[in-house]
Structure 1
Amino acid sequence: MPRPFERSVFVNCPFDEEFAPILQAVAFCIVYLGLFPRLAPENADNAAARLDRIADLICGSKYGIHDLSRCKSTQADEYARMNMPFELGLDHACRRFGPTPQTDKRILILEHTRYDYQRALSDISGWDIQAHGGDHEKAVRHVRSWLIAQAGAPAVGAALIQGKYIAFQEWYWERELAAGSSEKDIREYPTTELIQAMHEWKDAGEPV
Structure 2
Amino acid sequence: MAFENNLFINCPFDKEFKPILKILIFSSIYLGYKPLLSETTNSAETRVDGIHDLISKAKYSIHDLSRMESTKENELARFNMPFELGIDIGCKKFGNTQMNKKCLLIFDKTKYRYQKSISDLSGNDIEIHNNDPEIALRKFRNWIYKIKSTKIDSANKIWRLYNEFNGDFFEIAKTDELSKADIEEMPLEEICLYITEWKKGRDHFK
Length-normalised TM-score, structure 2: 0.94
Q: Decide which moves more: 72-81 or 151-160.
A: 151-160
Measure, in 2, the Cα distance between the counterparts of 1:198 and 1:151: 23
Q: 1:18 aligns with which of 16, 19, 38?
A: 16
Give the direction of change, closer, same or farther, for the CA distance of 1:34–1:8 in structure 2 (3 Å limit).
Answer: same
Measure, in 2, the Cα distance between the counterparts of 1:154 and 1:81: 38
Q: Decide which moves more: 82-91 or 147-156.
A: 147-156
The runs of 5 or more residues in structure 2 that have no matched partner are none
Please name the residue that 1:38 is paired with. Answer: 36
For residue 123 of structure 1, what is the amino acid of its counterpart?
Answer: D
For residue 72 of structure 1, what is the amino acid of its counterpart?
Answer: E
Q: 2:75 aligns with which of 75, 78, 81?
A: 78
Return the offset for 1:22.
Answer: 0.6
Are 2:179 and 1:182 aligned?
yes
Written as runs of structure 1 = structure 2, the 5 A alignment for 1:191-202 is 191-202=188-199
Return the offset for 1:76.
Answer: 2.0
Written as runs of structure 1 = structure 2, the 5 A alignment for 1:114-193 is 114-152=111-149, 154-193=151-190
Return the offset for 1:150.
Answer: 1.6
Q: What do residues 77-102 of structure 1 show as CA deviations (whole Å, max 9, x unaligned)?
A: 12111000000000000000000200
Asked whether the 8 Å contact 1:64–1:106 carries over to 2, the reply is yes
Measure, in 2, the Cα distance between the counterparts of 1:33 and 1:143: 11
Are 2:45 and 1:51 aligned?
no
Number of residue pairs matched? 205
Return the offset for 1:205.
Answer: 2.4
Following TM superposition, the consecutive aligned residue runs of length 4 or more in structure 1 with deviations greater than 3 angstroms are 151-154
Asked whether the 8 Å contact 1:33–1:153 carries over to 2, the reply is no
Return the offset for 1:178.
Answer: 1.3
Please name the residue that 2:101 is paired with. Answer: 104
Measure, in 1, the Cα distance between the counterparts of 2:148 and 2:121: 22
For residue 73 of structure 1, what is the amino acid of its counterpart?
Answer: S
Identity rate of aligned residues, in percent? 41
Measure, in 2, the Cα distance between the counterparts of 1:105 and 1:131: 21
Length-normalised TM-score, structure 1: 0.93
Return the offset for 1:183.
Answer: 2.6
For residue 94 of structure 1, what is the amino acid of its counterpart?
Answer: C
